[in-house]
Chains A and B, each alone.
Chain A
């Protein structure tokens, strides 16, 4: 029988040992997949990623991957089917120990299929509605953080605007203007059930398209509305004949230029789009809480359903200084200070 030199055998054993150790290391390290409903450039998604990334930087021994379903830019039935298949295929291939599913569509089309799957926990974030339809309430592998619009903070801001107004006048009236997207519709009930007193909530109206949006904004003041609340307009068709939405910056620029009453955004990115002021749920909190829950599951061995589902508590204020000053009523100094602290105080002119 042919004999091999000893050094060759040792060389082979060295390499084989190295690879086996690497295989064992890889096969045993915790695996986390972050599944986003939207695309990475969408400001909300981007900021959630920023806060998750802070934890990922510490997770040197975890395998982490991202999947973006891109349902903000495309939401037709064909796309939803395709992106859901792609996401599920990615999950099945990656086999994460923890699936962080962000925003409603990720739950609806993908994550709910992994309820009570052995060896996989689901941490949801950014859910506007209820998690019952996804089967999360009874599941033993799900926890997460809801995303509720910070209406208390919005109400307080409007009250601050109203400070000094003659109480003999009728209370300030607030209108919530929405685009026709399903995620907006899901949150509508939350606005209607909120205790707006002493303000008057004039209701939530859906603009069919940008033309309809312009009409509602233009008529708001004459309809007795004092404040307009807006959250999103990315699913707003340009017109009845043109389904392609205008650029967000175009919608915001038109709205700011033509609204005769203050417009308050309910997402921080409204100001990035060209708005004047916004109070939004903190995407950083959504990401940080989801990452903390993930760490708890992986490092302390806690079962997901033993971690209580939580509602977001933090919000972020964004102000565009140039647009704000002189056009809007004064606010206490703390708003500016807070916005500066969260790097959401924009000083350059639009």
Chain B
């Protein structure tokens, strides 16, 4: 589940002179900012916090280091300068968001490693009707099926990528030439397009969850998150296949499937292993635990943690996998961000920012539709320069407190940020595209067509959000 290799800690700024220049900015701008704030007689703690955040943001924006390192250094600085008690600065490590992220990541590792995903793929291929539309549906729904339980897009890429490969491999030359771009695009979209609709589908979702106020976190656990996102999700799904039908209409055709190879691969796998059974059992247990929460009264993040402990306790996840396969860098980033926000709240800066930006809060309330449009535009633009997680972090940290203060459900803002932040036209914008390309490197595709199709999806996303507004009002979310 870790980033496979060199998926971009360098970012778009690779040339050495530019990088040196960026480091010069990262060193000097915070110092100048601190001097300026001191000159304005801003409270020392507030000035130090602003300086630390400024340095962190610069390192993120210029992609000078892997994203978790500046966040961790920010924690260190806040501790050393005594900006808040240790319990506040380090609160991210004991938060429900951290525990949930760790647990779901552990479950994701076991699902992928046990071979359960591979068996599912083969069974799917064996039963597929012989036409490209059914193949497209199967690939898309494979990605969708693993979306709530494999919490990283890279993890799902390693499940869906081979399915795309297997399907295309078995196509005749004519079908390959006319339909492989469509299937590649569908495979790629299946792993991220509906990710905002499930709390546990992506690290960024857990990050947004962790930034929500405590009572919003209680409300938006698993089921209610999905329920609140359901209309958007259904619209996205419908629009996706409509757009696909219009854009890739020449790609739909009948094909012949060689069932012999599939049967052989299934036979090689043999009966289900104990680890596969435990992985499957864990998914069922998680689902049962979530649905029966009103009966057992155990918080959902504890349910997930129970499953992680069960997997470790029963030996389904070995020490080595626990160390190597869980994305500890992301977990550290998540905990650091929660600590950063807790420190900001401790210093009262969230209220200060909200009071200075009341106009934005009023704008959110009075013209939510226009705000969504503006946010989408800014997000798409910013994502050309800033990596996925950093963009989400910056926008969420700025907008969630303002929304909360303005009487807008912070979840809605976080959800809209997630929807538009996940839009990528170029591989450098999202590391999972590199990985998916790598896994499906034998599948031919026209990148230009993929980009145009993703451009159409932006409009679908906007439309889906607008259609959801009355639903959100109806269920008391907005």
Q: Are A27 and B296 in contact (CB under 8 A)?
A: yes
**A-B pairs with CB below 8 Å: how many?**
62
Q: Are A26 and B313 in contact (CB under 8 A)?
A: no
The contact of A68 among B215, B224, B314, B362, by CB within 8 Å, is B215
Q: Report the nearest B residue to A92, measured CB to CB.
A: B294
Q: Does A93 contact B (CB under 8 A)?
A: yes
Q: Are B313 and A11 in contact (CB under 8 A)?
A: yes
Interface string of A7-50 (1 = CB under 8 A from B): 01001100100010011001101010000000001000000000
The contact of B314 among A15, A22, A89, by CB within 8 Å, is A15
Q: Does A59 contact B (CB under 8 A)?
A: no
Q: Does B218 contact A (CB under 8 A)?
A: yes
Please name 5 further chain A to chain B contacts, defined as beta carbons within 8 Å, in addition to the given A89-B476, A93-B218, sorted by A numbering.
Answer: A19-B310, A74-B407, A82-B476, A244-B362, A247-B355
Measured CB to CB, the closest approach of chain A to B289, in angstroms, equals 10
Please give, as numbers and ranges, the residues of chain A lying within 8 Å of B475 by CB-CB distance.
Answer: 85
Q: Are B219 and A90 in contact (CB under 8 A)?
A: yes
Q: Does B298 contact A (CB under 8 A)?
A: yes
Interface string of B295-328 (1 = CB under 8 A from A): 1111000000010011001100000000000000
User: Which residues of chain B from 436 to 478 have a CB within 8 Å of any chain A CB?
Assistant: 475-478
Q: Does B358 contact A (CB under 8 A)?
A: yes
Q: Are A11 and B314 in contact (CB under 8 A)?
A: yes
Q: Are A23 and B296 in contact (CB under 8 A)?
A: yes
Q: Are A66 and B215 in contact (CB under 8 A)?
A: yes
Instruction: Report the bound CA distance from A84 to B293 in whole Å.
Output: 22
Q: Are B314 and A12 in contact (CB under 8 A)?
A: yes
Interface string of A60-102 (1 = CB under 8 A from B): 0001011110100110100101101110011001110000000
The contact of B296 among A15, A26, A66, by CB within 8 Å, is A26
Instruction: Report the bound CA distance from A338 to B415 in whole Å.
Output: 51
Measured CB to CB, the closest approach of chain A to B348, in angstroms, equals 9
Q: Are A15 and B310 in contact (CB under 8 A)?
A: yes
The contact of B476 among A8, A63, A73, A81, by CB within 8 Å, is A81
Q: Report the nearest B residue to A88, measured CB to CB.
A: B476
What is the interface residue range for chain A against chain B?
20 to 34
Q: Are A26 and B297 in contact (CB under 8 A)?
A: yes
Q: Does B351 contact A (CB under 8 A)?
A: yes
Q: Are B218 and A73 in contact (CB under 8 A)?
A: no
The contact of B405 among A68, A73, A85, by CB within 8 Å, is A73
Q: Report the nearest B residue to A15, measured CB to CB.
A: B313
Instruction: Report the bound CA distance from A89 to B411 in whole Å.
Output: 16
Instruction: Report the bound CA distance from A228 to B113 in whole Å.
Output: 74
The 3 closest A-B CB pairs, nearest first, are: A85-B476, A74-B407, A26-B297
Q: Are B294 and A19 in contact (CB under 8 A)?
A: no
Task: Knowing A11-B313, A70-B407, A82-B476 are in contact, say whether A95-B219 is a contact too (CB < 8 A).
Answer: no
Q: Are A90 and B296 in contact (CB under 8 A)?
A: no
Measured CB to CB, the closest approach of chain A to B473, in angstroms, equals 8
Q: Are B476 and A19 in contact (CB under 8 A)?
A: no
User: Which residues of chain B from 15 to 36 have a CB within 8 Å of any chain A CB?
Assistant: none
Measured CB to CB, the closest approach of chain A to B177, in angstroms, equals 49
Measured CB to CB, the closest approach of chain A to B356, in angstroms, equals 12
Q: Are B298 and A22 in contact (CB under 8 A)?
A: yes
Please give, as numbers and ranges, the residues of chain A lying within 8 Å of B298 by CB-CB distance.
Answer: 22-23, 26
Task: Knowing A68-B215, A79-B407 are in contact, say whether A86-B297 is a contact too (CB < 8 A).
Answer: no
Task: Knowing A15-B314, A89-B476 are in contact, say whether A244-B297 is a contact too (CB < 8 A).
Answer: no
Q: Are B314 and A31 in contact (CB under 8 A)?
A: no
Q: Report the nearest B residue to A85, measured CB to CB.
A: B476
Instruction: Report the bound CA distance from A65 to B219 in whole Å.
Output: 12
Please give, as numbers and ranges, the residues of chain B lying within 8 Å of A65 by CB-CB distance.
Answer: 218
Q: Report the nearest B residue to A2, measured CB to CB.
A: B274
The contact of B297 among A8, A41, A63, A84, by CB within 8 Å, is A63
Measured CB to CB, the closest approach of chain B to A4, in angstroms, equals 9
Q: Report the nearest B residue to A81, measured CB to CB.
A: B476
Instruction: Report the bound CA distance from A93 to B409 in whole Å.
Output: 19
Q: Are B478 and A82 in contact (CB under 8 A)?
A: yes
Q: Report the nearest A residue to B348, measured CB to CB.
A: A41
Q: Are A93 and B294 in contact (CB under 8 A)?
A: yes
Q: Are B295 and A27 in contact (CB under 8 A)?
A: yes
The contact of B407 among A73, A89, A93, by CB within 8 Å, is A73
Please give, as numbers and ranges, the residues of chain B lying within 8 Å of A93 by CB-CB distance.
Answer: 218-219, 293-294
Q: Are A95 and B294 in contact (CB under 8 A)?
A: yes
Please give, as numbers and ranges, the residues of chain A lying within 8 Å of B314 by CB-CB distance.
Answer: 8, 11-12, 15
Please give, as numbers and ranges, the residues of chain A lying within 8 Å of B293 by CB-CB distance.
Answer: 93
Q: Report the nearest B residue to A12, measured CB to CB.
A: B314
Q: Report the nearest A residue to B224, measured CB to CB.
A: A89
- Can you list 28 contacts pairing A with B, beta carbon distance less than 8 Å? A8-B314, A12-B314, A15-B310, A15-B313, A19-B306, A22-B298, A23-B296, A23-B298, A26-B296, A27-B296, A27-B297, A31-B297, A41-B351, A65-B218, A67-B215, A70-B407, A73-B405, A73-B407, A82-B476, A82-B478, A89-B224, A90-B219, A93-B293, A94-B218, A95-B294, A95-B297, A244-B358, A244-B362
Interface string of B364-407 (1 = CB under 8 A from A): 00000000000000000000000000000000000000000101
Measured CB to CB, the closest approach of chain A to B409, in angstroms, equals 8
Measured CB to CB, the closest approach of chain A to B218, in angstroms, equals 6
Instruction: Report the bound CA distance from A196 to B219 in whole Å.
Output: 48
Instruction: Report the bound CA distance from A280 to B293 in whole Å.
Output: 42
Please give, as numbers and ranges, the residues of chain A lying within 8 Å of B296 by CB-CB distance.
Answer: 23, 26-27
Instruction: Report the bound CA distance from A244 to B406 in whole Å.
Output: 12
Instruction: Report the bound CA distance from A70 to B214 in whole Å.
Output: 14
Instruction: Report the bound CA distance from A23 to B285 in whole Å.
Output: 14
Instruction: Report the bound CA distance from A262 to B161 in whole Å.
Output: 77
Please give, as numbers and ranges, the residues of chain B lying within 8 Å of A66 by CB-CB distance.
Answer: 214-215
Measured CB to CB, the closest approach of chain B to A52, in angstroms, equals 16
Q: Report the nearest B residue to A76, measured CB to CB.
A: B407
Task: Knowing A22-B298, A26-B298, A86-B476 are in contact, say whether A15-B219 is a contact too (CB < 8 A).
Answer: no
Instruction: Report the bound CA distance from A73 to B284 in whole Å.
Output: 43
Please give, as numbers and ranges, the residues of chain A lying within 8 Å of B358 by CB-CB distance.
Answer: 244
Q: Are B478 and A86 in contact (CB under 8 A)?
A: no
Please give, as numbers and ranges, the residues of chain A lying within 8 Å of B306 by CB-CB distance.
Answer: 19
Q: Report the nearest B residue to A27, measured CB to CB.
A: B297
The contact of B219 among A22, A76, A86, A244, by CB within 8 Å, is A86
Measured CB to CB, the closest approach of chain A to B51, in angstroms, equals 26
Q: Report the nearest A residue to B351, measured CB to CB.
A: A41
User: Which residues of chain B from 190 to 229 have a CB within 8 Å of any chain A CB?
Assistant: 214-215, 218-219, 224
User: Which residues of chain B from 403 to 443 have a CB within 8 Å of any chain A CB?
Assistant: 405, 407, 409
Measured CB to CB, the closest approach of chain B to A43, in angstroms, equals 14
Interface string of A233-244 (1 = CB under 8 A from B): 000000000001
Please give, as numbers and ranges, the residues of chain A lying within 8 Å of B355 by CB-CB distance.
Answer: 247
Measured CB to CB, the closest approach of chain B to A328, in angstroms, equals 31
Q: Report the nearest A residue to B216, measured CB to CB.
A: A86
Please give, as numbers and ranges, the residues of chain A lying within 8 Å of B405 by CB-CB distance.
Answer: 73
Instruction: Report the bound CA distance from A86 to B297 in whole Å.
Output: 19
